Amino acid sequence: MKKGLMLAAATLGMVFCWLMVMGCGESGQPFAGTYRSVEPYAGKGHIELELKENGEATWKLAQEGQAIRFKWRAEGGQLWFYTKEGGIILATPSDGGKKLNVDMTGQWHPSCPRSNCITFERVKAGSF
Amino acid sequence: MTQSDSQVEKLKLEQVGREVCIPAGVQVVRQGEIAQKFYVVLSGKLKVYRETPDGIRTDLTILGPGAYFGEVALVTGTPRTASVEAVEESTLLEITEEEFDQVLDQNPKLARQIISSLAKWLVEGDKRLEKETVHQVKLRQISLFDYVLILGLSLVLALVFNLYNDNQIPLIFHVGNLSGVQEVPLKQAEELYKNKQAIFVDARKSNFYEQEHIKGALNLPVVFFDLQFPMFQFMLEQEKVPKDEPLLVYGGTYSRRFDLELARLLKEKDYNVMVLQGDYSAWKRAFPLERHKAQELSAMPLDFGGYLEWLPVGIFVLILIPPVWRSPYLSGACRLILGIIFVLFALSKIMRPAVFALNVVDYDMMPSWGVNLWSLFLPWAEMMAGLFLILGIRTRAAATVIGGMNIIFIVGLVHVIMQGLPITCGCVGEAGEPVTWWKVLKNTGMLVMSLQILLYDRLFTLDRGGFIWRERKI
| Model ipTM value | 0.76
Of A6-15, A26-35, A39-48, the range with the lowest mean pLDDT is A6-15
d(CA A45, CA A66): 14
Which CATH number characterizes residue B14's domain? 2.60.120.10
- Predicted structure pTM score: 0.70
Classify residue A34 by its DSSP letter: E
The whole-number pLDDT of residue B474 equals: 36
**Domain, as residue range, for B151:** 142-170+298-473
B283 and B317 housed in the same domain: no
B377 and B447 housed in the same domain: yes
**B14: CB partners within 8 A, 6+ apart:** B93
d(CA B460, CA A64): 63
- Could you say which of A14, A42, A110 has the minimum Cβ distance to residue B231? A42
In the predicted model, what is the mean pLDDT of residues A70-74? 90
Domain total in chain B: 3
Contact indicator for B48, B1 with CB cutoff of 8 Å: yes
Q: Are A110 and B298 a contacting pair at CB < 8 A? A: yes
Question: Would you say residue B176 lies in a domain?
Answer: no
The whole-number pLDDT of residue B3 equals: 45
Q: Are B207 and A44 a contacting pair at CB < 8 A? A: no
The whole-number pLDDT of residue B308 equals: 81
Residue at a domain's end among B258, B291, B324: B291
Question: Would you say residue B1 lies in a domain?
Answer: no
The whole-number pLDDT of residue B141 equals: 67
- Could you say which of A7, A44, A89 has the minimum Cβ distance to residue B462? A7
Chain B residues touching A3 at Cβ < 8 A: 462, 467
Question: Would you say residue B258 lies in a domain?
Answer: yes
Question: Would you say residue A17 lies in a domain?
Answer: no
Chain A closest-CA separation from residue B303 CA (Å): 10
Among chain A residues, the shortest Cα distance to B432 is held by A108
B326 and B193 housed in the same domain: no
Q: Are B167 and A104 a contacting pair at CB < 8 A? A: no
B283 and B323 housed in the same domain: no
B444 and B347 housed in the same domain: yes
B389 and B464 housed in the same domain: yes
Question: Would you say residue A9 lies in a domain?
Answer: no
- Nearest by Cα to B348 from B423, B402, B425, B292: B425
d(CA A79, CA A57): 11
- Could you say which of A86, A105, A108 has the minimum Cβ distance to residue B358? A86
Q: Are A86 and B227 a contacting pair at CB < 8 A? A: no
The whole-number pLDDT of residue B178 equals: 73
Question: Would you say residue B77 lies in a domain?
Answer: yes
Chain A residues touching B421 at Cβ < 8 A: none
Which CATH number characterizes residue A70's domain? 2.40.128.290
Question: Would you say residue B204 lies in a domain?
Answer: yes
Residue at a domain's end among B291, B315, B342: B291
d(CA A47, CA A31): 17
Question: Would you say residue B245 lies in a domain?
Answer: yes
Best of A88, A111, A115 to substitute, by most chain B Cβ atoms within 10 angstroms, is: A88
The whole-number pLDDT of residue A4 equals: 59
d(CA B18, CA B94): 5
B38 and B81 housed in the same domain: yes
The whole-number pLDDT of residue B4 equals: 46
Residue at a domain's end among B291, B311, B342: B291
Question: Would you say residue A77 lies in a domain?
Answer: yes
Return the HEC string of B15-54. Answer: HCCEEEEECCCCEEECCCCCCCEEEEEEECCEEEEEECCC
Among chain B residues, the shortest Cα distance to A3 is held by B462
Whether A8 shows a pLDDT value over 80: the answer reads no
- Could you say which of B221, B230, B391 has the minimum Cβ distance to residue A41? B230
Q: Are B391 and A4 a contacting pair at CB < 8 A? A: no
Chain B residues touching A8 at Cβ < 8 A: 149, 153, 393
Residues B355, A90, A103, A109, CA torsion sign: negative
Please write the tens of the pLDDT for every residue from B300-347: 666 677 778 888 888 888 877 877 888 888 889 999 999 999 998 898
Q: What share of chain A is helix, strand, coil (3-state, %, to 5)?
A: 25, 40, 35
Please write the tens of the pLDDT for every residue from B2-49: 444 454 545 556 567 888 999 999 999 999 999 889 998 999 999 999
Domain total in chain A: 1
Question: Would you say residue A5 lies in a domain?
Answer: no
Spell out the long-range contacts of B141-148 with Cβ–Cβ below 8 A and sequence spacing 24 or more: B141/B464, B142/B394, B142/B396, B142/B397, B142/B400, B142/B464, B143/B464, B146/B394, B146/B396, B146/B397, B146/B464, B147/B397, B147/B401
Which ranges of chain B have pLDDT less than 50? Answer: 1-5, 7, 9, 470-474
d(CA B416, CA B46): 64
Chain A closest-CA separation from residue B436 CA (Å): 17
Question: Would you say residue A19 lies in a domain?
Answer: no
- Nearest by Cα to B69 from B25, B29, B26, B113: B29
